[in-house]
Structure 1
Amino acid sequence: MSEVKIVILGTIAMLLPVSAIIFFVILYYRRQRIQRAAHEEALHEAMLEASVVSQEVVRRQIGGDLHDEIGALLSATRMSLSQMNKFADNESKRKVLLVRTEELLNEALFNVRRISKDLMPSTLDEFWLIEALKDFSQKMTLHTNLPIQFCHDNLNKRYDPKIELSLYRSTQELVNNAIKHAEAKEIKISLKEDKNLLILQVSDDGKGFDLVAINQPSRGIGIKNIESRMSLIKGRIKFDVEIGRGSTFIINVPI
C-alpha cells in the first residue's frame, strides 16, 4: 500500500510542474489575445477618427467652395438680373447686362462641374484606374511644374470600384503631401500586378520626414486616412521614409 502511495505522490509531483507550465502558457496566450484585441481596437478607433476628420475636411472644403465661389456667382447673377429691370427702355444696356449674366452663369456651371469632378473623378468613373492616374499625373505636372511620372506594366483592365477609388484617393493624398511638405523635385507613381496583388508605389526625392512624429495623435491624418481606406479593401501600406532623403510608399491590395 505504501508503494502505491509513493507512486501516486510521485505522479502528482510530476504533474504539478506540467500543470503549472500549461497554466502559465494558457495565461500567457490569453494575455496576448487581450493585448492584441486592445491594439486592434485602438487601431480601429484611430482609423475611424481619421476617416471622420477627413470627411469633415472634405465637407468644409465643399462648403467653402459652394459659399465663396458658387454663392458669390449666384448673388452677382441675381444682381445683374435685377438691374435689367431698371433699364427696360435701354436696349443696349440690357444686352450688356444679359451678356454679363450669361458669363456669370457659365462660370457658376464650370465651378459646379469642377466640384463634382473632385468628388468623383470623371476619368475614373468612365474609364479605369490606369487612365485616371495618367490623367492625374499629367494635370498635376501642368499645374505645379513638378515632374510627376506614371508608369504601369501594360495593365488594361478594370478592378473593383472600391479598389480603384481607394488607390486613386491614396495617390492624391501622397502626391499632395510630397508637393506641400517634401520639397520634392520629382515624383514617381507606378502600378503593377504581382500574382494576386495589385501594387501601387509612390516615391519622391524630397527631404523625407519622421514617421513616428507624423503618426502622433495630433498629426498624420493623411496617412491614417490612407490606412483606413486600405482596411476597407484588405490592403496594406508600407513606408520607407526617414529625415534627409526621399520617401517611398508601397500599397499592396489583394485582387
Structure 2
Amino acid sequence: MTRVFARLRAYRDFLAAEPVRVSALLRLPLIGLITILVWIWEVDHWLPALYAVIIGGYAVVAVVWLIAVLHGPVPPWADLASTGVDLAVVVALCLVSGGATAALLPVFFLLPISVAFQDRPLLTATIGGITAVGYLAVWIVYSKRDNTMGLPNMVYTHFGFMVWLAVAATALSFVLVRRAHRLKVLQRARLQLVSEAIGSDERRNREIAEHLHDGPLQTLLAARLELDEARERTSDPALDAVYAALQETATGLRSTVTQLHPQVLAQLGLTAGIRELLRQFQARTGIDVIDDLDEVGKPKNQPLLYRAARELLANVSKHAQATTVRVGLARRGDRVILTVADDGIGFDPMVIDRSLAAGHIGLGSLVARFDAMGGSMRISAEPGRGTRVTVSSPPEPNRPDPV
C-alpha cells in the first residue's frame, strides 16, 4: 500500500508537468524530422549557413531543456516558453530555407497537437491560428521570391486543414479541461467525505468515552470504594480477590477511555498528548524511548496524527522486537511532521498490501487516510534493519507560533 500510494503521488506530480516533459521528449525527433525531410527533398536553401545555425542551436537547446525538465522541477512558464520557441524556430527555418516549406508541412500540423493537452483551450486556439497563418504567410513570401512557382492551390487546402486542426485541437483541449475540472470536484468531494468521516469518528469516540467515564467507570469506582470499606471491616481473602479484579477492570476501562478521547490531547495539545503516550508506552513495554518533540500547539489534524503515533507505537511493541524507538515531532512550513523509527527486525513494506487484501486494515487504512486528506505516510523498512515511518499532516492553516 505504501508503495502504491507513493507511486500514485509520483504519478500525480509527473502529470502536473506532463505537457512540458512530453513536449521535451518529442522535440528531438521533431528536429530530426525537419533535418531529414529537407535533406531528402534536396531543397536549395536561401541561407544554408543560417539554416544550419538555427537547426543546430535548436537541437542543443532541446537537449539541455530535456535534461532540465526530466531531472528538476518545471517552472509554471515552461509550457508557454517552450511552445513559443518551437513556433518561432519553425517559422524562422521556413523563412531561411526556401522550398523547405513543403517539407516542413508535417511540422506545422504537429504544433497545434503539441499544446492541445496543456489544458489551455485559448492557448491551443492561438497557437493553432498562428500556425495556420504562419504557414500561409511563409508560402506567400516564397511565391513572391520565385515568380515561376507562384502560389499552388494545394497551399489553400493545407491552410484549410490547419484551421480545422486548430479548431479540433481546441475542442480536445476544452474537453480535457472539463474532465480535469470534474476530477478536481470529485477530489474535493472525497476530501470532504474523509474529513467528515474523521470528524464523525472523533465525535463518536468522545461520546463513548464520556459515557464510559460518567457511567460504568464511576459505578465501578463506587463499587470498589464500598468494597474497600468492607475489607477494612472484614478480613476475607475473597474480598481481596474481588477488589483486585475491580482495580484491574477500572484501570483497563480508564485506559480505554483515554484511547478513545485522550483528555491531555484536547486540553494541552498534540505535543503533550504524544509525550504522555510515550510515557505510557515505555512503562508498558520497557522499550527505551528517545523523543525530540517540538511544541506544535493544537493542529487542526491532531487527532489523526495522534492516532498515527499510537498505531505506529503499537506496531513497534507487537512486531518490531526493538530495544529503542525514536520519536520526533516538528512543524515544517504548513505541515506537522511526525517520525517514528525503531531498531527492530524491520519488515517488507509489501506486507502492508497483503495485510490490507486480507482484511487487516490498521496501518494500511492510516496510509490511505493521510493520502486522501492531502498528507503522506512514508515507510522505510528492510528485514533486519529496523523501520522508519515519516508522517506528514495535511496542510495546516497559518497559526501563530505557540507560546
Same fold (TM over 0.5): yes
Q: Secondary structure at the match of 2:291?
A: strand
CA distance in 1: counterparts of 2:175 and 2:387, whole angstroms: 39
Q: Give CA-to-partner distance per residue, 1:130-176, whole Å, 9 cap, x none.
A: 122112212212221211222123x1x5313x522211110111122
Shift of 1:201: 0.7
CA distance in 2: counterparts of 1:181 and 1:163, whole angstroms: 27
Aligned sequence identity (%): 23
Shift of 1:191: 0.4
Would you say 1:237 and 2:377 are equivalent positions?
Answer: yes
8 Å CA contact 2:344, 2:385 repeated in 1: yes
CA distance in 1: counterparts of 2:358 and 2:313, whole angstroms: 21
Would you say 1:183 and 2:321 are equivalent positions?
Answer: yes
8 Å CA contact 1:239, 1:248 repeated in 2: yes
Give the 5 Å matches for 1:95-114. Answer: 95=234, 100=239, 103=243, 107-114=248-255
- The one-letter code sitting in structure 2 at the alignment partner of 1:242 is E
Would you say 1:120 and 2:258 are equivalent positions?
Answer: no
Q: What value does the CA root-mean-square deviation take over the aligned residues?
A: 4.6
Q: Secondary structure at the match of 1:215?
A: helix
8 Å CA contact 2:371, 2:377 repeated in 1: no
8 Å CA contact 1:129, 1:168 repeated in 2: yes
Cross-structure match for 1:12? 160
Q: 1:195 to 1:243 in 2, by over 3 A?
A: same
Q: Give CA-to-partner distance per residue, 1:66-98, whole Å, 9 cap, x none.
A: 9xxx9xxx8xx8xxx9xxxxxxxxx99x9457x
| More displaced 10-residue stretch of structure 1: 129-138 or 227-236 | 227-236
Cross-structure match for 2:392? 252
Q: 1:18 to 1:208 in 2, by over 3 A?
A: farther
Q: Give CA-to-partner distance per residue, 1:9-44, whole Å, 9 cap, x none.
A: 131344566667x389759958x96xx89xx7xxx7
Shift of 1:120: 1.6
Q: Which has the higher strand share?
A: 1
CA distance in 1: counterparts of 2:369 and 2:328, whole angstroms: 19
CA distance in 2: counterparts of 1:208 and 1:28, whole angstroms: 48
Segments of 5+ residues of structure 1 without an aligned counterpart are 82-90
Give the 5 Å matches for 1:35-114. Answer: 95=234, 100=239, 103=243, 107-114=248-255
Paired residue for 1:203, among 334, 338, 341?
Answer: 341
Larger C-alpha radius of gyration, 1 or 2? 2
CA distance in 1: counterparts of 2:261 and 2:280, whole angstroms: 16
CA distance in 1: counterparts of 2:359 and 2:384, whole angstroms: 20
- The one-letter code sitting in structure 1 at the alignment partner of 2:157 is L
- The one-letter code sitting in structure 2 at the alignment partner of 1:213 is V
How many residue pairs end up in the alignment?
Answer: 215
Cross-structure match for 1:159? 298
Q: Secondary structure at the match of 1:237?
A: strand
CA distance in 2: counterparts of 1:185 and 1:105, whole angstroms: 33
Shift of 1:181: 1.9
Q: Give CA-to-partner distance per residue, 1:168-211, whole Å, 9 cap, x none.
A: 11011112212222222211100011222211111112222222
8 Å CA contact 1:133, 1:150 repeated in 2: no
Would you say 1:223 and 2:371 are equivalent positions?
Answer: no
Q: Secondary structure at the match of 2:292?
A: strand
8 Å CA contact 1:137, 1:149 repeated in 2: no
Segments of 5+ residues of structure 2 without an aligned counterpart are 1-150, 397-403
Cross-structure match for 2:352? 214
Q: TM-score, normalised by structure 2?
A: 0.42
Would you say 1:143 and 2:143 are equivalent positions?
Answer: no
Shift of 1:105: 5.0
- The one-letter code sitting in structure 2 at the alignment partner of 1:125 is A
